[in-house]
Structure 1
Amino acid sequence: MPRRSLVVVLDGPPTPAWQARALELLDRSPRLTVATVRPLGPCRLPAAVRLRDRVEQRLFGAGEEALAPVRVAARDGGEAELTVWLAERTAPPDGAATLLFRHGGRIEPAEEAVRRALGDGAAVLDSELLLRRADGTDEVVEVTVSGLRPFSATLTRDLLLWKLAAVAARGAERAPARASGVGAARAGAPGSRASAPPPVSSTPPDSPPPSDAAPAPPPIVPATLGAWLRGPATRLLCVRPWSIRLRERGPEPTAGWAAAGDGLVCWGDSPVYADPFLFERDGRHHLFCEEVPAGAARGVISHTELRSDGRPAEPPTPVLAAPHHLSYPFVFAYGGELWMLPETSAARRVELYRATAFPYAWERAAVLLDDVDATDPTLLVHDGLLWLFAGVAARGASSLDELHLWWSERLSGPWRPHPRNPVVADVRGARPAGPVQRWGERLVRPGQDGSRRYGGALSFRAIETLTRSDYAEREVARLDPADLGDARAIHHYSADSRFEAVDLRRRELRVVRRARAVALPLRGRSLRPPLVFAGRPVDRKGADGR
């Protein structure tokens, strides 16, 4: 297949780091050839925005700066079939087949689009990669939906821009071959080449880029000013531990959680118990979870067995540890053996473990995927194939925004990427949130809604199409933190034939937590809430074995 030749138009020099990353990805694509790189001149942010960036970087640790200046050399390889317009300083001219971004229905810089959406109180911002043909018609090539962080326009913008670097490269590969208008020849044929972009404009570098005739939003969104004070104060005064809530399985997975207690397990004092997986074997009910022990820097996989008589199980104990962080212990049976597929994104791998003495001993059996930042890997056996779902983040971008899918005929692989990856590009449900469930005749995939915050809600999504060439799903139910009473975040659901579990995050004053930690050894477990199982109180003396 002949390579598609490109003209890439950037801001600079200096060029924003996200545009340099996009150029790097375009250069690395086996389907593309970058013939010309044309910087249009510097695009300097207003002083108030630069000040806001410094403040929010200090307060929230916003990560790698997408607008950091980078030196990129110009190239002059002549005309090409398609122009990739990354520059935000000026809009592209008419008359050339061009890929460009549109945010929230407007062609404007991502910085302005984020501030505008935050000022409107929106939860998400949709960004489209448009193919603007030579005849003036537009076609949407890629769509991605990003979450908005009300406390930080800087973090929101940078996560978006790092993602757009990957979207630009993907879109340049997937844009229709007949890109230059009605009756155009196929890419690579005579007459299909787009004209080169215009020479550098004489617009002053501090002038705002043109948008769709809308006034620019204020450099600092008023709502974020309060967050600048609340964020540090909350971290100083409060802890936000993750815990697990268990109950007997009810008729509706999304109803009645506020009345459920956590009395089925005698939890320890670890600040993080999350990602509960329920696994049933030989009539016994096992709970695996992520645990971050007090004072530890990374998570381990812990286990406890739930009791059928209503007495609380023992505190979870670690059964798998690694030099890197472990979480999301997806346990399953396949081929007569028991397996675990934990999240090992800290090692940039998807690792498969085999039980050697279930549930206490595991050995690494294979690496299913390597050199990939894959979160919450979730396996499904369907129609004679194995399907692997995972959240995948472009470098510097959020892991909440995109769901990727692979398929294989064998557990050991090879695992082939789905041609439509990412099969979901929407922060409101992309990242997996537990095993795929069967609700009657439907396959339902729990997903995380991270639009406003991490753990914003659970989105239950019915899988409507699952083939080697296509994928489709739609939301059919939701579980919000408010449905659990005092929860501020929730991001996982699991069930077996008798029990179901979610994880949740609360806010707790540090002084209260310290007092509880001191009092518990002195008073036994008297500070725990009353234990309830199947609607009846449980004798605490019997529960504690005293």
Structure 2
Amino acid sequence: MLNRLLQLGFWNVGIIEKNLDDFFSSPDTIKIRWMKHGYRDRFFADPFPLNEDNHYYYILAEEYKYIKGKGTIVKLTVDKKTMRLIKREDFLETNYHLSFPFTLGEYIVPEQSKSGKAYAYNNGKVEEVCKYPLIDPVFYNYRGNSYLFSTLPSDNISDPNQTLYLFKRNSEGKYDLLYPNPIVNNISCARCAGKIIEYEGAIIRVGQDCTRIYGGGLSFEKVTSFEPEYSEEHLFSVSVKNQNKYNIGMHTFNLTNNGYIIVDGFQYYTRPLLKVAMHLKGLGVKNAK
């Protein structure tokens, strides 16, 4: 009990060196290579690949420093051979917590629901894309239309882990709510976990399985219709319980340029001095994001 009181939760970035064919044929046998770094006061989560070369992965991710109490977006350079973090660079910070840095062309649209709206960023340029406080927004173009999947902050109707909404881009380039009611009402798959996947003619949405805990695993859903009504079918779920490390949760799934898979994982570490410092600063504990 005392040990648990001295623990904090940490996410980390990992690579699955399989393509989608191998992954979909045996999702329960994944082997994850975790990023190695020396930071003990922060975690890295929500990885979105920027690009890569023969030696390195270049990744955008949330960096959450516990003593700071909010997330920022950083660029990580990770050695492919050793999975060691070679370089960490500040990429984007605002007055609000940032995470889930979705890449949209030359822009990134991070989750920053505390600001009350959603914004796209590109080299100092900021554009409002939606008047709603989106949580983990995912964009997808289909048959000439641009759609946006997102959950919304908790209220008496919406639960960010259970109710998913669909938006559509209007003539002014901003996104409006397409349906007044949630398109998915299911805590095992609603909240988005990464970009839409196109595989063998299917459109696959990856969601977070928050049944056990927030970000406890992944759920793969086949999208069968956008309009005049939305529908999807469950394919399978994946957890990290068989991994040696970071085996408590997983809530991001994206593809690298070479077709490998980038994910994140969660586990607890004992950090008594950091917890004392947080207590002295009056900061709450954020274990799972």
Scaled by the length of structure 2, the TM-score of the pair is 0.82
1:427 alignment partner, SS class: coil
Amino acid at match of 1:340: I
Does the CA contact (< 8 Å) of 1:461 and 1:474 recur in 2? yes
Q: Which structure's CA Rg is the greater one?
A: 1
Q: What is the match of residue 268 of structure 2?
A: 507
**SS of the residue aligned with 1:413?**
coil
For 1:161, the equivalent position in structure 2 comes to none
Aligned partners of 1:387 and 1:408 also within 8 Å:
yes
- Paired residues of 1:269 and 1:294 also in contact (CA < 8 A): no
Are the counterparts in 2 of residues 490 and 504 from structure 1 also a CA contact under 8 Å? Answer: yes
Letter in 2 for 1:476: L
AA matched with 2:270:
L
5+ residue gaps, structure 1: 1-229, 357-362, 515-546
Report deviation, 1:325: 0.3
Amino acid at match of 1:343: E
Mapping of residues 493-532 of structure 1, within 5 Å:
493-498=253-258, 499-510=260-271
Q: 2:77–2:87: 8 Å Cα contact kept in structure 1? A: no
Q: Is the 8 A contact 2:153 2:159 kept in 1?
A: yes
State the 1:328 CA deviation. Answer: 0.3
Query: Are the structure 2 counterparts of residues 471 and 267 from structure 1 closer, same or farther at C-alpha, using a change threshold of 3 Å?
Result: farther
Q: Give the secondary-structure state (helix, strand or coil) at the position aligned to 1:286.
A: strand
CA–CA separation in structure 1 for the residues paired with 2:237 and 2:116: 31
The one-letter amino acid paired with 2:229 is: D
Q: What is the Cα deviation at residue 369 of structure 1?
A: 1.6
The answer (yes or no) to whether the contact 2:100–2:111 under 8 Å persists in 1 is yes
Question: Out of 398, 405, 413, which is 2:166 matched to?
Answer: 405
Q: Distance in 1 between matches of 2:267 and 2:169?
A: 39
C-alpha contact (below 8 Å) 1:351/1:364 kept by paired residues: no
Matches within 5 A, 1:370-381: 370=131, 372-381=132-141
**What letter matches 2:67 in structure 1?**
G
CA–CA separation in structure 2 for the residues paired with 1:510 and 1:313: 21
Match of 1:274 in 2: 45
The corresponding residue for 2:34 is 262
Q: Does 1:245 align with 2:17?
A: no
- Of 338, 343, 357, 2:111 maps to 343
CA spacing shift, 1:378–1:286, aligned 2, 3 Å: same
User: Which consecutive unaligned segments of at least 5 residues does structure 2 have?
Assistant: 276-289
Q: Structure 1 residues 385, 409: closer, same or farther in 2, change over 3 A? A: farther
Identify the residue that residue 190 of structure 2 maps to in structure 1.
430
1:413 is displaced (CA, Å) by: 2.1
Kindly, what percent of the aligned residue pairs are identical?
21
Higher helix share: 1
For the aligned residue pairs, the C-alpha RMSD in angstroms reads 2.7
- Structure number with the higher strand fraction is 2
**Matched residues, number:** 267
Look up the match of 1:328.
100
Q: Distance in 2 between matches of 1:344 and 1:513?
A: 25
Contact 2:79 2:86 in 1 (8 A): no
Please tell me the residue identity of whatever aligns with 2:17. E
Aligned CA distance change for structure 1 residues 281 and 271 (closer, same or farther; 3 Å): closer
* Residue 476 (structure 1) aligned to one of 209, 229, 235: 235
CA separation of 1:443/1:238 partners in 2, compared to 1, >3 Å: closer, same or farther? Answer: same
Q: Check if 1:458 corresponds to 2:256.
A: no
Q: What secondary structure is seen at the aligned counterpart in 2 of 1:240? A: strand
Alignment of 1:84-483 (within 5 A): 233=2, 235-250=4-19, 251-252=22-23, 254-257=27-30, 259-263=31-35, 266=37, 268-280=39-51, 285-307=57-79, 312-333=84-105, 338-354=106-122, 356=123, 363-370=124-131, 372-395=132-155, 398-408=159-169, 413-419=173-179, 421-467=181-227, 469-483=228-242
Could you tell me how far apart the structure 2 residues matched to 1:380 and 1:504 are? 25
- What's the secondary structure of 2:84's corresponding residue? coil
Contact map agreement 1:268 1:315 (CA 8 A) in 2: no
Q: Partners of 1:255 and 1:512 in 2: how far apart?
A: 37
- Please give the alpha-carbon distance, in whole angstroms, between the structure 2 residues aligned to 1:352 and 1:367: 6
Contact 2:78 2:87 in 1 (8 A): no
Three-state SS of the structure 2 residue aligned to 1:316 is strand
Report the TM-score when normalising by structure 1. Answer: 0.45
Structure 2 CA distance, aligned partners of 1:344 and 1:509? 29
